[in-house]
Amino acid sequence: MVEKNFSNQTYRKHQEKLFELVRMPIVTEETVQEATRYMCEIVADMLAVDTVSIWYFDASYRAISCQVAYSHESGTHYPKLTVHRELAPDYFDALQKDRVLAFEDVRNHPWVKELYTDYFVEGQRIQSMLDAPIYANNRVKGVICCETFSPREWTYLEELIVSTLTDFIAILYFRLDRQAVDTHIRRLAYIDELTGLLKDTGFIEKMDEERQLQSKQLGALVYLKVDDFRSVEDAIGIEKSDEIVREVANRLRRYVDESKLSRMSQSGFAIWLPYGDRIKLNAVADELCEVLVRDPFLVDELEVILTMSAFIAVEQKDITTLEMVHRARIAASERAFQRAAIVFYEEEMGTKAANRLILEMNLRSGLAGNEFMLYYQPKIDAMTGALRGFEGLMRWNHPERGLVPPLDFIPLAESTGVIIDLEEWVFVTACRQLKRWHDRGEWYSLALNLSARHFLSEGVVEKFAQIAREEGVCTSYLTLEITESVGMENQQHVIDRFVAFREEGFSISIDDFGTGFSAFVYLKHYPIHEIKIDRQFIQVTENDPTGNVIVESIVDLARGLNLKTVCEGIETIEQWHALRELGCDEMQGYYFSKPLPLEELESWIDHYTTQQRDA
C-alpha cells in the first residue's frame, strides 16, 4: 500500500519538514502542538490511512485523551474523546510495553472491541487500526493512532514508518521536558522560593548588565535589613517568621521596581537605585525603612513590631555589583547592633573588616600556638584586707602586635564561636593553677568569665565538671561570671543552666551588675551566688556622696537575699573604706593590683601577705 501511494519526492518533502521541526532552536508547547498537527498529516499521507490522531496520557496513566486528529475528509480537528483504563486494561498495558500495536479487525479484537463504536475518532466506520506509543524520557507520553475505513493487513514497513515518526515527536517532547527541567533549575538558582524575588546570583547578573547599558549614570545598592530578626525567629519560630519575610517582600513591591529587587539573606533585601546622590539616597532609604514597618506584622493574632536599617554602597565604575553587595554587607556588620540606622559604606570600613578577618584567623592560630596567657587580679576581703582569691583574665600575646587589648579580640571571638575553645583553655589552665595553690595549702578561690554563647551551649556544665574532676579541683572554689544580658535570652533555659551549675558545686556571679534593665530580674528569679557592682557606681561613690545610696541599696538588697557583693574598680583607699562601711564583701581594682601574669603574681602574693601579717 505504501509503495503504491507514496513517492520519493513526497517522502523527501516530509522528511525535510520533520528535521526542520526537530532542529528548532527553541521548543515550546505551541511549537510541539504545531508539530503534532503536521505529524498527523504526514502519517496520513505516508501510510494512506483515513484518520490519524494523537493522544496523551494524564499524569496518573489511567486515562488517555485525544489532542488532535486529521482526516482527508475533515482536515485537522480536535475531538473531545477520553478513554479510561478500566474500559480497556489490556490495551493500556500493551501501550506501556509494545513498540507498535496492529489491529486488523478492531470490531472483534478483545483489547479494543468495546471502544471502537464510541471512542474511536470515526467510531463505527473504523475497520483496522495501527497504534505507535510515543516514548519520551523513558516513559510513554502518548500514542499515534492510525485508522482505516476498510480492512487492512499492516506490513512490517508500515509499522516501521509509524514507529519511526513517533521518534520525531519524542525528540520534541524530550527537548521540551529538558527545557522545563533547565528552566526549573534556573529558577531554583535565580529565584527565591519564599518571596518569588531574585536571589543574589540573578540580581547581580542583571544589575551588571544594566550598569553597562547605563554607564554614564551612577547608581547605588541599598541593603535593607530587619533589625535583630534572629530574636523574632526565636520568639515565634521559623515558619511564622517566614510569613513576615514574605510580607516585607510584598510591601517592598509596592514601592520598588521588582526587577531591581532581590532577597539577599533571611531578612535582608537588596535594591538597585539609579542615582548616586547621598542626600537623595539617605532620604529614600529612610522613607523605605519607615513605610515598610509602619504597620505591625500580624502573625496569627500576634502583632509584631519591627524596625529596619539601610546600608548603602554608592556605585563606582571600577567595581562589580558583587563587590557593591559585599560593601553593603560590610556596612551592615559595622553597625550590627544599631537599630533604624542609615549607613553608607566608607573605605575605612573595608580596611577594618579586612583587619578583623586577619585577627580572626590569627585568633585560631594563636590558640593552637600557645599565644594566650591567663592573668590574675586579686580579690580582697573588704573588712580585713585579706587575700581571698583571684579573677582569671584572658590575655593575648600576639607575636607581632604584642599584648592585644581584650576589647579588640573578645567580641570577635564571641561572634565567631572561637570564644568557646578559648574559655575551655582558660578553665583548664585556671584549674591546674588552683590545684597548685591548694596543694601548697593556699585555699584561694578563682573567678572566671563565661560568655553568653558558651554559658548557653549544650554540654557546658558536664564539660566543666569533668575538667574540674580530672584536674583534682573542688568546684566550690570556682566562680563563673556572666553578664546580665544572658538572662534575656531564654529565661527558663537560663534558670535550668544556673541550677545545673549549682548542682555541680559551681558559684555563679553576675558581672557589671546594675548596668542593664534586667538587673533585678536576676535577684528575683535566678539562683545566683554573687553580684559584682559595676565600677561606674564606685566612681559615683567617691565623687558624689549621694551616690552612696545606690551602692548601699544594692548591698542591702543582696545581703537580704544572702548574696555576696564584690566591688570592682577600686582605685583609692578612700573608695575601699567607703565601700567597706557600706557593707561590701570583697573588692578588686588597681588600688590593690592590676591583673598580673603568674610569675609577677607570685611575687605580689608574697609581698602582700607579708604586708598584711606585719600590719
Lowest mean pLDDT among 42-46, 350-354, 513-517, 601-605: 513-517
Closest residue by Cα to residue 130 from 107, 153, 113: 153
The Cα 258–Cα 290 span in angstroms is 19
- Per the CB < 8 A criterion, the answer to whether 230 and 236 are in contact is no
pLDDT over threshold 50, residue 36: yes
pLDDT over threshold 50, residue 2: no
Q: What is the pLDDT of residue 332?
A: 86
Q: What is the pLDDT of residue 4?
A: 44
Closest residue by Cα to residue 131 from 123, 118, 120, 139: 120
The Cα 273–Cα 581 span in angstroms is 64
pLDDT over threshold 90, residue 12: no
Q: What is the pLDDT of residue 187?
A: 64
Alpha helices in 256-392 (DSSP H): 278-292, 321-334, 347-368
Closest residue by Cα to residue 256 from 232, 285, 225: 285
pLDDT over threshold 90, residue 98: no
Q: Which residue has the higher pLDDT, 366 or 24?
A: 366
- Share above pLDDT 70 across residues of the chain, in percent, rounded to a whole number: 87
Cell of 424: 575551655
Closest residue by Cα to residue 395 from 542, 596, 575: 596
The pTM assigned to this predicted structure is 0.54
pLDDT tens digit sequence for 522-539: 566 678 888 888 777 776
* Interior angle at CA 420, CA 402 and CA 502, nearest 5: 125
**Hunting for cell 496523551 — which residue is that?**
56
Q: Is 607 exposed, middle or buried (0-12, 13-18, 19+ CB in 10 A)?
A: exposed
* Interior angle at CA 34, CA 28 and CA 37, nearest 5: 145
Q: Which residue has the higher pLDDT, 490 or 248?
A: 248
Quote the distance between the C-alpha of residue 132 and its chain's center. 50
Q: Bin 393: left if φ > 0, else alpha if -120 < ψ < 50, else beta.
A: beta
- Share above pLDDT 90 across residues of the chain, in percent, rounded to a whole number: 37
pLDDT over threshold 50, residue 42: yes
Closest residue by Cα to residue 542 from 593, 591, 509: 591
Q: What is the pLDDT of residue 485?
A: 65
pLDDT over threshold 80, residue 440: yes
Q: Is 48 exposed, middle or buried (0-12, 13-18, 19+ CB in 10 A)?
A: middle
pLDDT tens digit sequence for 355-370: 777 777 888 888 888 8
Which residues are CB-neighbours of 274 under 8 A, at least 6 positions away?
214, 217, 219
Q: What is the pLDDT of residue 524?
A: 63
* Interior angle at CA 177, CA 173 and CA 181, nearest 5: 170
393 pairs with which residues across the strands?
375
Cell of 16: 525535510
**Eight-class DSSP state of 564:** E
* Interior angle at CA 206, CA 195 and CA 181, nearest 5: 65
Helices 29-47 + 8-22 axis angle, to 10: 160
Quote the distance between the C-alpha of residue 435 and its chain's center. 45
pLDDT tens digit sequence for 448-462: 999 888 988 889 999
Q: Which residue has the higher pLDDT, 136 or 146?
A: 146
Q: What is the pLDDT of residue 518?
A: 46
Question: For residue 489, how many other CB atoms are within 10 A of its CB?
Answer: 15
- Per the CB < 8 A criterion, the answer to whether 406 and 443 are in contact is no
Tell me the pLDDT of the chain averaged across its residues: 84
pLDDT over threshold 70, residue 180: no
Q: What is the pLDDT of residue 127?
A: 92
The Cα 260–Cα 552 span in angstroms is 60
The Cα 69–Cα 143 span in angstroms is 12
pLDDT average, residue stretch 321-331:
90
Confidence bin at 200 (pLDDT 50/70/90)? confident
Confidence bin at 302 (pLDDT 50/70/90)? confident
> Helix (H, G, I), strand (E, B), or coil: what is residue 65?
strand
pLDDT tens digit sequence for 138-176: 778 889 999 999 999 999 888 888 887 787 777 777 776
Q: Bin 402: left if φ > 0, else alpha if -120 < ψ < 50, else beta.
A: left
**Eight-class DSSP state of 305:** P
pLDDT average, residue stretch 590-597:
94
The Cα 229–Cα 336 span in angstroms is 11
Closest residue by Cα to residue 568 from 602, 546, 604, 592: 592
Query: Which stretch of DSSP H or E encloses residue 71?
Result: strand 63-71
Considering only CA atoms, give the Rg of the chain: 40
> Helix (H, G, I), strand (E, B), or coil: what is residue 426?
helix
Q: What is the pLDDT of residue 191?
A: 84
**Hunting for cell 520534541 — which residue is that?**
172
Cell of 206: 542583571
Pairing of strands 51-57, 63-71: antiparallel
The Cα 135–Cα 452 span in angstroms is 62
For residue 94, which phi and psi values (nearest 5 degrees)?
A: -65, -35
For residue 456, which phi and psi values (nearest 5 degrees)?
A: -90, 0
The Cα 271–Cα 288 span in angstroms is 11
Question: For residue 139, how many other CB atoms are within 10 A of its CB?
Answer: 12
Pairing of strands 128-136, 75-77: unpaired
* Interior angle at CA 84, CA 83 and CA 86, nearest 5: 135
Q: What is the pLDDT of residue 116?
A: 78
* Interior angle at CA 428, CA 426 and CA 434, nearest 5: 95
71 pairs with which residues across the strands?
51, 75
Q: What is the pLDDT of residue 59?
A: 86
